[in-house]
Amino acid sequence: MAVTFTPIDPEGADRDELVAFMTSQTFPFHVRTSPTAEQISDAIAAGAYRDDDNASFWIDHAEHGRVGFFRFEDLSEDTPLFDLRLAEQWRGRGLGGEILAAATERVFTTMPEVRRFEGQTREDNVAMRRVFVRAGWVQEAYYREGWPVEGGEPVASVAYSVLRRDWESGTVTPVVWDAASA
């Protein structure tokens, strides 16, 4: 696989690079679209990048070099979540699916107790929603007005997941939505 996850030491060697990455890019589909250095420093101090729940990595690509940031979240829970942020110059080049597939493989090969891996995105983050589908994830929920937007109306939050058994067998099991009325 062309993708390597390189551990980030947020309070040590990687601190400056992490602050620079987060403050030099815009993230139009995140709640905080243009984080400030102070906000990132506060998040580092609060353990948001590395603690019992969070583990952050640079995404290093065999051909392209460092293309972005990946954080595994909720690691002390049964179901981890994630945050994926490509650098602006690497967005829209077809890398997301491969990266999410690599992250999925990492979860299921290194966390034997984990049965499902989850993610959420805004309804209008079409690229991310396509990436979920490409990586074999399944949409499970659509939370209407569930995503706050600064200075605007809330949009929906869409939830996806992948099951270990689907990952192992290479299948994609759809959600049966009408089971109650069947």
Q: Contact residues for ligand COA (CB under 6 A)?
A: 27, 29, 84-86, 91-97, 119, 121, 125-128, 130-131, 134
Query: Which amino acid does the sequence have at 74?
Result: D
User: Which residue, 95 or 102, is less far from ligand COA as judged by CB?
Assistant: 95
CB of 59 to ligand COA, least distance (A): 10
Nearest residue to ligand COA, scored by beta-carbon proximity: 96
User: Which residue, 37 or 127, is less far from ligand COA as judged by CB?
Assistant: 127
As a whole number of Å, the end-to-end CA separation of the chain is 42
CB of 166 to ligand COA, least distance (A): 19
CB of 180 to ligand COA, least distance (A): 30
User: Which residue, 19 or 103, is less far from ligand COA as judged by CB?
Assistant: 103
CB of 160 to ligand COA, least distance (A): 9
User: Which residue, 3 or 95, is less far from ligand COA as judged by CB?
Assistant: 95
User: Which residue, 11 or 24, is less far from ligand COA as judged by CB?
Assistant: 24
CB of 19 to ligand COA, least distance (A): 17
The string of DSSP codes covering the chain is --EEEEEP-TTTTTHHHHHHHHHHS--TTSSSSS--HHHHHHHHHTTSSBSSS-EEEEEEETTTEEEEEEEEE-TTSSS-EEEEEE-GGGTTSS-HHHHHHHHHHHHHHH-TT--EEEEEEETT-HHHHHHHHHTT-EEEEEEEEEE--TTS--EEEEEEEEEHHHHHHT------TTGGG-
